[in-house]
Amino acid sequence: MAGLDEKKPLDWHQVAYYGRGVFAVVLSLAVLIGGGWYAYSKASELYTSLVTPDDDYVGEGGAEVEVVIPRGAGITQIGDILYEAGVVKSVRKFRTVAQRSGQSNELQYGRFKLRKELPAETAMAMLLDPANIQRIWITFPEGLTLAEQQQRIHDELGVPLEEIQAAAGRAGELGLPEWAGGKLEGFLFPARYVVAEPVDPFAILQTQVGQFNTVANRVDLVERAEAMGSDPMTVLTVASIIEGEVHNSDYQPLVAAVIYNRLEAGMKLEMDSTVHYFAGSDGGVTTTAEQRATDNPYNTYFYEGLPPGPINNPGETAINAALSPADSDALFFVTVDLDSGETLFANTYEEHQANVVKFQQWCQANTGRC
C-alpha cells in the first residue's frame, strides 16, 4: 500500500468531478440564503478555478498588444514570443493547441494585433485570421534611382543604409535576367509593396526584381526589342531617360521618338536627366554649363549615344513608350509647365528656342522651381 505522503499526478477529470459537486452545493446554498447574483458569481469563479488548468487563461483577454512573428518561426518560437508579450500563459499549452489544430503550417509571419491574457486557442485563432495582420507598405515612385530607393527604405523602414547596400551587393542572387549583366539600376520596379517584419532589405529588392521580370514578360520586352533591331538593355536605358525627362505619360512616346531620331541623326542626346544622374540634383530641372561640360560617360551633352545603362528605375508606361515610340520627326522638346507637365516638341532648333522662351517665362513666374 502506498504511503499517505506519496505524491500522485493531478487527475483533472477527478478535480472536475469534485468541482462540479462543490459548485452544486455552493449554488444551492446561495439560492437558499438568498445571496443572489453575488453568491452566484462567486460560485462560478470557484467552479472555473477548479476545472480550468493553471497553464491557460480564460475569457476574452485584456489590453491590445502587437507582436512580431519572424519569417520561418516554428510553433515553439511563436509560443515563446506570445508568452513574452503576455498573450498566452504557457508556451507548452500554445504548442499543444497549435499541434492539435492541424493548422500550424498555416501560421504566417508579420506584425499582429492581439490581446494580453488570451486562451491559447483564441491566440491561435487570431494568428490564423488575416484581419489581425498589421501590414507595412512602402511605395517607390517611377524614376527613382537605386540610391534614392535605398534612402527611402532607410527613411521609411529604419533599415541602416549599410544593410541595404550589402543586400544590393548580392545582385547575383536577386533573380536578375542574364542580360542585366549584374546591374540593379533599372531593374527595381517602381510600385507599392507590402513589407514583412522583421524588415529584410534583400527580400524587398528581390520582390522588386521579381516584379520587373513579371512586367518585362507581360510587355514582351526582349522579343519586341529584338523586333525593332535593338536589345532589352538599350530599350530599358531609353525608358529610364524618358522617365527622367517627363512624368506625364501622354508625352512619353513622343520623347521616345526624339531620342531615337537624335540617335539616328548622330546628334548628342543632350538630356539633363543623364547629367543629374552623375551630378545629383538640387531639386531643379535644369543643369549648369559646368555640369554639362563634365567628362562623364553618363553625360549626354559630352558624349554621343546612350549612357552605359539605365539612369533610374522606369515604370511600365515608359518601357512601353521606348518599345513603341510615336511616329514623329521631332528632334527637340521642352516641358514648359512643371505643374501640368505640358511639353512642347519641335522639328527645328529655331522652333525649339521659341519653346524654351516659354519655359523661361514660366520659371520667372515661379521663382525657385526651375
Distance of alpha carbon 322 from alpha carbon 306, whole angstroms = 13
Written as one letter, the residue type at 60 is E
The answer for residues whose C-beta is within 8 angstroms of residue 35's C-beta and 6 or more apart is none
Total number of domains constituting the chain:
3
pLDDT at res. 51: 42
**Residue 235 belongs to some domain of the structure:** yes
Please, what is the average pLDDT of the chain? 89
Q: Among residues 154, 183, 218, which one ends one of the domains? A: 218
Q: Which residue has the higher pLDDT, 341 or 45?
A: 341
pLDDT at res. 49: 40
pLDDT at res. 8: 45
* Strands 343-346 and 136-139, sheet pairing: unpaired
Judge contact between 213 and 199, C-beta under 8 A: no
Q: Burial of 63 by CB count in 10 Å (0-12 exposed, 13-18 middle, 19+ buried)?
A: exposed
pLDDT at res. 53: 53
- Reading the block at residue 249, the C-alpha cell is 505619360
pLDDT at res. 251: 98
pTM (2 decimals)? 0.75
Are 236 and 326 part of one and the same domain? yes
Are 313 and 263 part of one and the same domain? yes
- Residues of the chain with pLDDT > 70, as a percent, come to 85
Distance of alpha carbon 141 from alpha carbon 236, whole angstroms = 17
**Residue 356 belongs to some domain of the structure:** no
pLDDT at res. 216: 99
Are 127 and 154 part of one and the same domain? no
pLDDT at res. 197: 79
Q: Flag whether pLDDT at 60 surpasses 70.
A: yes
Q: What mean pLDDT comes out for the span 117-137?
A: 94
User: pLDDT for 162-191, tens place per residue?
Assistant: 999 999 999 999 999 999 999 999 999 999
Q: How far is the CA of 216 from the CAs of 38, 84, 121, 157, 232, in angstroms?
A: 71, 46, 45, 28, 9
Residue 250: which domain range?
228-330
Q: Flag whether pLDDT at 28 surpasses 70.
A: no
User: pLDDT for 295-336, tens place per residue?
Assistant: 999 999 999 999 999 999 999 999 999 999 999 999 999 999
Q: Among residues 100, 115, 134, which one ends one of the domains? A: 134
